[in-house]
Amino acid sequence: MPLCQRLRPAVVLASLLCCSGAIRAEEPLPKAEEILDKFVEVTGGKAAYEKVHNEKSTGTFEFAGKGVKGPLTIYRAEPKKMYMRVELENIGAIEDGTDGETAWMLSVMQGPHIKEGEERAVSLRQATMREPLVWRTLYKSAETTGIENVDGTACYKVVLTPNEGKPETQYYDKKSNLLVKMTMTAVTQMGEIPTETVVSDYKEQNGLLSPRSIRQKALGQEFDITIAQVEYNIDMPKDRFDLPNEIKALAKK
């Protein structure tokens, strides 16, 4: 799954900003299925994805122009486990994760939170390993609705409707078929927040391409995520996806 989608729960992001300009579609639009399946091909192919059983990504997270940043680490494992930690300087850790059943968030400042309903469903969907291969099990429909410019690049606009939750819109470069932007309404405990995520700088690791630069916009603010390293099939600590004690205590109530 594109890295940008995995990062959504941590940054609680969104934006109404859409610099896309509509282009008249003078050619038949490819089916969304074709675009999504082709994305698998151009980013490494089905066989390469199937070799991945877990992964670790490391990089940095920064509030753009605010002077606040810190290291970011994300672990994922099959079938749908995820743990993410952002360590912001002078603020402390923000953690987000799921063991495949309980989806949660924990921060020094805000305390523990167990996700429910749509918020939980989105977290589990984003934690799903090899999501590009199994998108048909996660979304009930996908439709190509047009061609739009994203920062001067003509893109196919694909609207995906998940089994649970609000539709997401993804923009795929017509030439490369790489995902370059997505918009969605992030469902968080603080409200439904329109978000925009722009991804770039795809790099290859173990035969798989993934974006290393992600800019997310929400509520008029911007967040930059830079991924320095992606490792696949690491020796994952057994307790990596265990619920933190604060979450366990909350769950007992």
Partner 1 sequence: MSSARILAIATACAAFAAAQPALTPEQKRLNLESFEFIWSTIHDQYWDPAFGGVNWNAVHDEFRPRIERAATMPEARTVMGQMLGRLGKSHFAIIPADVYGDLDSHEDAGGPQTAGFDVRVIEGHAIVTSVEEDSPASVQGVHPGWEILSIDGTELAPRIQKVGELYRNSTMRELYLARSVLSKLAGAASSEARVQFRDGGGTVVTKEIRRIRPRGSLAKFGYLPPNYVWITARKIDGDIGYIAFNMFLDPLRLMAEFGAAVHACVACAGMIVDLRGNPGGLGIMAMGMAGWFIDKPDQRLGTMYTRQAPVKFIVNPRPPVYSGSLAILVDGASASTSEVFAGGLKDLGRARIFGTRTAGAALPSAIDRLPNGDALQHALADYISEGGRTLEGVGVIPDVEVKLTRQALLSGHDPVLDAAIEWIHARK
- The contact set with partner 1 (CB under 8 A) reads 14-16, 63, 65-68, 90-92, 107-113, 189-194, 218-221, 246, 249-250, 253
Residue closer to partner 1 by CB (options 131, 222) is 222
Residue closer to partner 1 by CB (options 108, 234) is 108
Residue closer to partner 1 by CB (options 28, 220) is 220
Residue closer to partner 1 by CB (options 122, 179) is 122
Residue closer to partner 1 by CB (options 29, 68) is 68
| Nearest-approach distance from CB 249 to partner 1, in angstroms | 5
| Nearest-approach distance from CB 106 to partner 1, in angstroms | 9
Residue closer to partner 1 by CB (options 218, 227) is 218
Burial 19-54 (b: 16+ CB within 10 A, else e): ebeeeeeeeebeebeebbbbbbeebbeeebbeebeb
| Nearest-approach distance from CB 142 to partner 1, in angstroms | 26
